[in-house]
Amino acid sequence: MISSKCTLQIRLDVIEENYRALSMLCPNSETGAVVKANCYGLGMKQISPVLKKSGCKHFFVANIEEGVSLRKILGADINIFVLNGVFSGETKAFKEHGLVPILNHFAQIRVWQEFAFKLHQPLPCFIHFDTGMNRLGMPESESINLVQEDTAGLDVLCVMSQLVSGEESDNLYNKKQLEKFTKLASKFPNAKRSLANSSGIFLGLDYQFDLVRPGAALYGINPTNELAIKNPVQLFAPIIQMHQLPSGESVGYNSTYTNSTIESCSIATIPIGYADGFSRHLSNKFTVYINGHKAPIIGRVSMDLVSIDVSLVPAEEVFLGQRVEVIGDNCTPDKIAQIAQTNAHEILTGLGDRFDRIYTYK
Nearest to 245 by CA among 226, 235, 228, 258: 258
| Radius of gyration for the alpha carbons in the chain, expressed in angstroms and rounded | 24
Give just the sign of the alpha carbon dihedral 350, 353, 356, 362.
positive
pTM higher than 0.85, yes or no? yes
Cβ burial of 54 (10 Å; 0-12, 13-18, 19+) is: middle
Residue 334's pLDDT is: 94
Give 166: exposed, middle or buried? Use CB within 10 Å, 0-12, 13-18, 19+: buried
The residue ranges of the chain whose pLDDT is under 50 are: none
Percent of the chain at pLDDT > 90 equals 92
For 12-219, give the CATH class. Answer: alpha beta
Catalytic member of 36, 180, 187, 230: 36
- Rounded CA separation 184/143 (Å): 7
205: left (phi over 0), alpha (psi -120 to 50) or beta: alpha
- State the catalytic residue, choosing from 57, 253, 285, 361: 253
Distance between CA atoms of 65 and 281, rounded to whole angstroms? 33
207 is catalytic: no
Domain 233-331: assigned CATH number: 2.40.37.10
Cβ atoms of residues 303 and 277 within 8 Å: no
Question: What gap in Å lies between CA 156 and CA 126, rounded to an integer?
Answer: 6
Domain with CATH 2.40.37.10 in the chain: 233-331
* Cβ 104 vs Cβ 138: under 8 Å: yes
Which pLDDT belongs to residue 1? 64
Residue 88's pLDDT is what?
94
- State how far the Cα of 253 lies from the Cα of 271, in Å rounded to an integer: 16
Length of the chain: 362
User: What pLDDT does 7 receive?
Assistant: 97
Q: Binding residue per annotation — 135?
A: yes
Q: Please say if 253 is a catalytic residue.
A: yes
The rounded distance, in Å, linking the Cα atoms of 159 and 188 is 8
β-strands 265-270, 323-327 pairing: unpaired
Print the SS3 string covering the chain.
Answer: CCCCCCEEEEEHHHHHHHHHHHHHCCCCCEECEECHHHHHCCCHHHHHHHHHHCCCCEEEECCHHHHHHHHHHHCCCCEEEECCCCCHHHHHHHHHCCEEEEECCHHHHHHHHHHHHHHCCCEEEEEEECCCCCCCCECHHHHCCCCHHHHCCEEEEEEECCCCCCCCCCCHHHHHHHHHHHHHHCCCCCCEEECCCHHHHCCCHHHHCCEECCCHHHHCCCCCCCCCCCCCEEEEEECCEEEEECCCCEECHHHCEECCCCCCEEEEEECCCHHHCCCHHHCCCCEEEECCEEEEEECCCCCCCEEEECCCCCHHHCCCCCEEEEECCCCCHHHHHHHHCCCHHHHHHCCCCCCEEEEECC
Is 242 labeled as ligand-binding?
no
